[in-house]
């Protein structure tokens, strides 16, 4: 009977170890995806800021042209 308990404990430990490995892998994958998404967000924000500055310059040029008419 002790042999059965030992085998069951070994199987339970191996299942636990495998679950931990899978959890660690999932955490690393999630962290990498989060970092990638954050980088994409930063890049998009920079593009938006650039577009906003271009729009502001164009509006001021248009206002100057309209004032000269």
Helix (H) or strand (E) holding 69: none
Domain boundaries, the chain: 1-68
The overall average pLDDT reported for the chain is: 95
For 6-30, how does the pLDDT look when each residue is reduced to its tens digit (9 = 90+)?
899 999 999 999 999 999 999 999 9
Q: Report the predicted TM-score, pTM, of the whole model to 2 decimal places.
A: 0.68
The CA distance from 4 to 10, in Å, is 10
In whole angstroms, give the CA distance from residue 53 to residue 47.
10
pLDDT at 1 over 70: no
pLDDT at 3: 77
User: Rg for the chain (alpha carbons), in Å?
Assistant: 30
Euclidean distance between CA atoms 25 and 69, whole angstroms: 66
Question: Rounded distance, CA 38 to CA 28, Å?
Answer: 15
pLDDT tier, 68 (very low <50, low <70, confident <90, very high otherwise)? confident
């Amino acid at each position: 009977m002790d042999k059965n308990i030992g085998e069951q404990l070994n199987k339970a430990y191996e299942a636990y170890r495998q679950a931990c490995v899978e959890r660690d892998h999932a955490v690393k994958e999630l962290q990498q995806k989060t970092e990638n998404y954050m980088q994409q967000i930063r890049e998009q924000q920079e593009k938006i800021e650039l577009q906003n500055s271009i729009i502001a310059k164009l509006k001021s040029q248009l206002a100057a042209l309209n004032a000269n008419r």
